[in-house]
């Protein structure tokens, strides 16, 4: 059941043990009925059965008040749930978010949706664009919108269908849209990249936008995705001629001998850790010429003084508690990086007592030293302090800073663990200060859902829920109140602004 305005009640949570080339086709949709069928090849995984005991534990935890009831909305007293906008013409998995002026741009495995958020209590759909290709990671810069395609497609059009990566003619990579008319985005360019584009990060300049493309999982059987692949694609996009966008470099971030490159070897050397074959996500802090990469089995810090030729400064691993380095966030002073571990790939129940507080969590690293001598030093872990049912996929996922000078505050998505606001001013003693979540989608199957991305933008928290749609939250807390005075014209969280410049 989809809820337009979910019933919410505030209560305490006991810590229970329950667990563009010629021929590009833009299939554009106004807010209304779908005129084409989204590709089932880009849908999220089907629900998986759970044991009878797991089902019983979930039901018992709901009855005891340890977790919210199925689809029930709960939150801390300092958060208000303003509204929920259900999915409409794009039924696929909701993914990332970007912001510009009064607009929010919401990625979806079937395309993207543009909201007018002038009134955060009542966002209005401006456009919905059908363009299947998981996972449609999204960002904006000026009049350009960028969309990642990380599934093998028959061609680069928005009418493409799934096609095996073993076929040379298959396409994956970056798509570029002109959004000067928000009601009528126009598909203007496509750039194929090795192993596709799982995520991407913008390094904007006046005349050009550089795009760092993160992708991974090569195979000798994939003509356009050969091992070891230990690098990223760098695309240069001229703002006035985006159709000339092209790959200008492929810097190898993990040089090494042999077919496996120089990143984390994974199992059997490091059991339970992903072998590094590229990066999952990169965050840049242009004001400091720095970037942090979450690269499967490795975390890296690198310089982007020359955006076409990024240079690695430091490389770290955590072979005890980190399974898959997923994303990175700098604090505002560039003295810390928060890395996330996507244990279970985002589809597993890892926020339970059995997994514990240090796995599927955030890792907080201080940056010690200066310039090319900077080093990442581990300080502590953060994980939401509420156990979830074994039918709820839950793990650290996408978030952003809440800009308060002198403090390190962050809002973050945890899939079905909901949205968490936390303080890591003391790197060794992080603590949660607010939360919002829904109860499990189901109590008899593990069904993927929950908040994919939760970001703070101009006084509000916006969350893109995989299954339930677009949520708007209002945080009212003296600790975060100074952030309400900060206003941005644009926000892509992987291109962190200098809030206090």
Q: What is the CATH number of the domain that holds 384?
A: 2.130.10.10
Distance between CA atoms of 152 and 198, rounded to whole angstroms?
Answer: 11
Measured on CA atoms in the order 338, 343, 349, 355, is the torsion positive or negative?
Answer: negative
Backbone angles phi, psi at 9, to 5 degrees: -135, 140
Task: Say which range, 18-27, 112-121, 249-258, 345-354, has the weakest mean pLDDT.
Answer: 18-27
In a domain, 2, yes or no: no
Terminal Cα distance for the chain, rounded: 45
pLDDT for 37? 39
Residues 6+ apart with CB under 8 A from 44: 92, 93, 109, 448, 466
pLDDT at 419 over 50: yes
Tell the burial category of 433 from Cβ atoms under 10 Å away from its Cβ (0-12, 13-18, 19+): middle
* Least confident range of 61-70, 211-220, 458-467: 61-70
pLDDT at 300 over 90: yes
| 498 domain residue, yes or no | no
Contact criterion met (CB below 8 Å) for 388 and 351 = yes
The answer to whether residues 147 and 174 touch, using CB atoms and an 8 Å cutoff, is yes
Report the number of distinct structural domains present in the chain: 1
496 located within any domain: no
pLDDT over 80 at 7, yes or no: no
pLDDT at 276 over 70: yes
- pLDDT > 90? residue 78: yes
Indicate whether 42 pLDDT > 60: no
What does pLDDT average to over the chain? 91
pTM, 2 dp: 0.92
Residue 263 lies in a domain: yes
Task: Tell me the residue range of the domain where 264 lies.
Answer: 8-19+25-38+48-491
Contact criterion met (CB below 8 Å) for 125 and 88: yes
Report percent pLDDT > 70 for the chain: 91
The Cα–Cα gap between 131 and 110 comes to: 6
197 neighbors 149 (Cβ within 8 angstroms): yes
Q: Which value, to the nearest 10 degrees, does the dihedral of the CA atoms of residues 173, 179, 180, 182 take?
A: 180
- In a domain, residue 501? The reply is no
Give the C-alpha distances (Å, rounded to integers) separating 406 from 18, 335, 369.
37, 12, 20
Q: What is the structure's pLDDT at 44?
A: 63
Question: Is the pLDDT score of 407 beyond 50?
Answer: yes
98 inside domain:
yes
Q: How confident is the model at residue 471 (pLDDT cuts 50, 70, 90)?
A: very high
Model pLDDT for residues 129-165, shown as the tens digit of each residue: 999 998 999 999 999 999 999 999 999 999 999 999 9
Taking residues 406-424, report their average pLDDT.
98
What is the CB-side half-sphere exposure of residue 221 using CA atoms within 13 A? 3
Residue 12: per-residue pLDDT: 35
- Asked if the structure places residue 497 within a domain, the reply is no
pLDDT band for position 301 (cuts 50, 70, 90): very high
The residue among 394, 347, 389 whose CA lies nearest residue 13 is 389
In a domain, 431, yes or no: yes
Pairing mode of beta strands 144-153, 73-75: unpaired
Q: What is the pLDDT of residues 370-400, one digit of tens each?
A: 999 999 999 999 999 999 999 999 999 999 9
With residue 108 as reference, give the H or E element that holds it: strand 103-108
């Amino acid at each position: 059941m989809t809820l337009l305005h979910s019933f919410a009640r505030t209560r305490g949570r006991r810590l229970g043990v329950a667990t563009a080339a010629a021929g590009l086709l833009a299939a554009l949709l106004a807010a209304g009925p779908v005129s084409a069928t989204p590709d089932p090849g880009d849908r999220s995984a089907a629900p998986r059965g759970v044991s009878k005991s797991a089902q019983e534990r979930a039901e018992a935890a709901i009855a005891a008040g340890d977790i919210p009831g199925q689809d029930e909305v709960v939150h801390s007293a300092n958060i208000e749930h303003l509204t929920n906008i259900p999915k409409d013409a794009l039924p696929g998995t909701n993914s990332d978010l970007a912001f510009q002026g009064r607009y929010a741009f919401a990625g979806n495995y079937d395309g993207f949706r543009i909201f007018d958020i002038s009134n955060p209590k009542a966002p209005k759909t401006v456009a919905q664009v059908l363009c299947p290709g998981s996972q449609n990671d999204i960002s904006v810069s000026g009049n350009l919108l960028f969309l990642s395609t990380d599934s093998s497609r028959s061609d680069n059009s928005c009418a493409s269908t799934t096609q095996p990566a073993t076929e040379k003619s298959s396409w994956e990579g970056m798509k570029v849209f002109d959004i000067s008319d928000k009601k009528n985005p126009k598909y203007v360019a496509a750039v194929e990249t090795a192993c596709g584009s799982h995520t991407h990060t913008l390094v904007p300049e006046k005349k050009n936008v550089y795009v760092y493309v993160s992708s991974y999982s090569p195979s000798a059987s994939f003509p356009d995705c050969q091992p070891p692949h230990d690098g990223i694609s760098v695309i240069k996009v001229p703002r006035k001629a985006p159709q000339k966008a092209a790959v200008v470099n492929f810097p190898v971030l993990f040089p090494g001998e042999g077919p496996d490159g120089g990143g984390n070897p994974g199992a059997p050397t490091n059991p339970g850790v992903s072998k590094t074959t590229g990066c999952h996500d990169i965050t840049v802090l242009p004001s400091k010429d720095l970037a942090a990469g979450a690269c499967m089995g490795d975390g890296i810090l690198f310089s982007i003084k020359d955006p076409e030729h990024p240079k690695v400064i430091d490389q770290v691993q955590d072979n005890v508690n980190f399974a898959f380095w997923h994303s990175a966030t700098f604090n505002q002073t560039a003295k810390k990086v928060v890395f996330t571990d996507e244990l279970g790939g985002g589809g597993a129940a890892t926020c339970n007592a059995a997994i514990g507080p240090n796995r599927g969590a955030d890792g907080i690293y201080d940056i010690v030293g200066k310039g090319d001598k900077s080093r990442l030093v581990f300080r502590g872990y953060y994980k939401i302090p509420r156990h979830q049912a074994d039918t709820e996929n839950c793990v650290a996922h996408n978030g952003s800073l809440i800009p308060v000078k002198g403090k390190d505050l962050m809002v973050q998505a945890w899939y079905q663990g909901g949205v968490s606001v936390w303080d890591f001013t003391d790197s060794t003693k992080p603590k949660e200060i607010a939360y919002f979540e829904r109860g499990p989608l189901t109590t008899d199957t593990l069904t993927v859902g929950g908040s994919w991305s939760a970001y703070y933008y101009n006084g509000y928290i916006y969350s893109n829920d995989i299954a339930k749609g677009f949520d708007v939250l209002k945080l009212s807390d003296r600790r975060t109140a100074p952030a309400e005075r900060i206003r941005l014209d644009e926000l892509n969280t992987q291109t962190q602004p200098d809030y206090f410049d």
